[in-house]
A and B are shown apart, each in its own frame.
Chain A
């Protein structure tokens, strides 16, 4: 009786381990798929950047033009803890795109006013060294707090600000490249 009970328990342990291994392999498959997706997005971005450089001239798009004056990043991350078990916590990233970088206090108010504008994409971190977690991705649609038009204008203003380091009139390819790299930034968070 006892040996059959022990046998049943070991079978349960084995099936639980098999499930963990399958889940782990699924995570690895997801990781490779996302890396492939990131590669193609970045490739598109590089191609568009090269096209923009070809049309605008190499002197108008290079690293010497990068803005070295004080400025805050428009795209930042919010990092929180998320419980993944009794003794374990994982970092939880939230991407905040195109927040105003000029005035932090105003930024905070606008973030409250226009928190709906910032598309928040939440994912679990995959970069824990045990790589045993799968990622869940949620995209939360914005809550309407303020007028959508002014909030979109804010994002467009920040986009234009980023483009302005390469001049006032820029190639549409450069704008397309900006969109590709924005998508790439989101993809890195998914990974």
Chain B
């Protein structure tokens, strides 16, 4: 009971996005975009001029905001901050790696499948030792 992480409940949480221009444009057309009074958005457009530091800062900001429930991040962008994404372990906001226009989905780099692979390889090592 002491280790239970409380789930933050909310009635109107946002979907944040860190992706390329076309993906962001598309999801904004779907009504996901939010701009608050301080002109803070729930998305970051990643292009050739975007630095890794900017992506890291955006990821950290979106994962600590209380009004965000899901963070969509393009897989190739997640690869740039792989250490940060893999070390993230909270249930909310949930992180989902999505494909991008120029970089199709690669199961080998998916963090969920990587953990599954590690789990099974550990188990196979453990069973081999018995």
Contact = CB atoms under 8 A, between A and B. Distances in A.
Interface of A: 28, 31-32, 35-36, 38-39, 42, 45-46, 49-50, 61-63, 66-81, 87-91, 93, 96-99, 125-129, 131, 158-159, 162-163, 165, 174, 177-178, 180-182, 184-185, 188-189, 191
A70 B14 contact: no
Interface residues of B, number: 52
B77 interface: no
A39 B4 contact: no
30 contacts: A35-B107, A38-B99, A39-B105, A42-B98, A46-B22, A46-B101, A49-B22, A67-B35, A68-B41, A70-B37, A73-B32, A75-B30, A79-B69, A91-B7, A93-B69, A97-B31, A98-B31, A125-B91, A127-B112, A129-B89, A129-B115, A162-B29, A165-B28, A174-B29, A177-B29, A178-B30, A181-B26, A181-B30, A188-B96, A189-B70
A146 B50 CA distance: 47
Nearest to B105: A39
A116 B14 CA distance: 21
A74 B30 CA distance: 8
Interface SS, B side: mixed
A91 B30 contact: no
Contact of B105 (A35, A91, A126): A35
Interface of B: 1, 4, 7-15, 21-37, 39, 41-42, 45, 69-70, 72, 89, 91-92, 94-96, 98-99, 101, 104-105, 107, 110, 112-113, 115-116
A87 B1 contact: yes
Contacts of A188: 15, 70, 72, 96, 98
Given A35-B110, A77-B12, A93-B69, 11 more contacts: A62-B21, A73-B14, A77-B13, A78-B12, A78-B13, A79-B92, A91-B92, A162-B28, A182-B31, A185-B27, A185-B32
A115 to B, nearest CB: 12
Contact of B32 (A46, A62, A75, A125): A75
